[in-house]
Amino acid sequence: MDFKIAVLPGDGIGPEISEQGVNVMTAVCQRFGHSVTYEYAICGADAIERVGDPFPEETFQTCMRADAVLFSAVGDPKYDNDPAAKVRPEQGLLAMRKRLGLYANVRPVETFDCLVHKSPLKDELVREADFICIRELTGGMYFGEKYQDEDRAYDTNLYTRPEIERILRVGYDYARRRRRHLTVVDKANVLASSRLWRKVAQEMAAEYPDVTTDFMYVDNAAMRMIQEPRFFDVIVTENTFGDILTDEGSCITGSMGLLPSASTGDHTPVFEPVHGSWPQARGQNIANPLAQILCVAMLFEYFGLQEEGDLIRDAVSASLDANVRTPEIQVEGAPRFGTKEVGAWIVEYIQKA
């Protein structure tokens, strides 16, 4: 297969982990006889500094020309600490999602046995936890009508039936490929938008009699995710709830540096780690590249190349078992490895497989 990949390193640790993702993708393509070309583009704070736009038109066109986007992170304290800033790095991420029509964000949460001790939750709660959060990505309060003055502000949580139906179908498709259990998370006891979500989901459940569909208020879901994460198989929810729940899921694995994601929809799919730009670690060679590398596994799997994805997952598991880990997940007394060293070890594993 011939791949054209748009690479958006972004800000903070983005360029460092991006390099490792590209190296792994290149190694897998060589191993399986695929060809791959890369086209780099700017986004986030880097793009603001260069051209004044966090998602410039040229970057959008680069994404549209590609088969997939390997994205890393955006964000910078310069903008976080300036409430008056009119242009922010995160606006670039929202613009990319909107312009590419990326309405479904898929975030797997899966534990590694050798890292269960890193989770703040008890071993017996998180071991063998394995579920997927599917977050609606282009609707809700993040994109609804907004207003703010000195004394009053609002954000509109707008959803339409077609938006809800299409994300629910993504959820049901994943559930059918897994353990056939879908949990729809809403706040239907309070929010009108959630009542529409629940109404549509109840109607659609009849189309999927082979899938068990249940409903859970978001506050209960947040509690249940901590108390009994193995209960879940596939979770589908709206934009704001999904943003919060997926970050909460990182405590189950023990590190946000292990969580990849895929955003799919109308145009080019985007594969990105969930951990953000961590600008304080920039240039220190300590950032965990595994989430970015697992994004490459998701990329191959998206195109039906399961064997390629499996090899990357095997390499990641082998690196963890061999204690080839960046500092935040390394066991006490074991050697320290940096971003580059972990990436190089995984590339070598792939080449020798």
- Residue 247 annotated as catalytic: yes
**Closest C-alpha among 138, 70, 53 to residue 99:** 138
Please provide the DSSP assignment of 152-195 as one string: -EEE-----HHHHHHHHHHHHHHHHHTTSEEEEEE-TTT-HHHH
- Residue 219 annotated as catalytic: yes
- Residue 187 annotated as catalytic: yes
- Rounded to whole angstroms, the maximal C-alpha distance in the chain is 63
**Closest C-alpha among 36, 34, 53, 33 to residue 44:** 53
Residues contacting residue 124 through CB under 8 Å, at least 6 positions apart = none
Q: Which residue is catalytic, options 82, 219, 266, 310?
A: 219
Q: Which residue is catalytic, options 76, 174, 243, 349?
A: 243
**Closest C-alpha among 155, 104, 91, 95 to residue 134:** 104
- Residue 174 annotated as catalytic: no
Q: Which residue is catalytic, options 174, 187, 233, 349?
A: 187
Q: Which residue is catalytic, options 79, 103, 142, 159?
A: 142
**Could you tell me the two tokens for 199?**
């109404």
Q: What is the chain's Cα-based Rg?
A: 20
Q: Which residue is catalytic, options 130, 173, 247, 314?
A: 247
Q: Report the alpha-carbon distance of residue 113 to residue 179 in Å, rounded.
A: 21
- Residue 142 annotated as catalytic: yes
- So which residues are the catalytic ones? 142, 187, 219, 243, 247
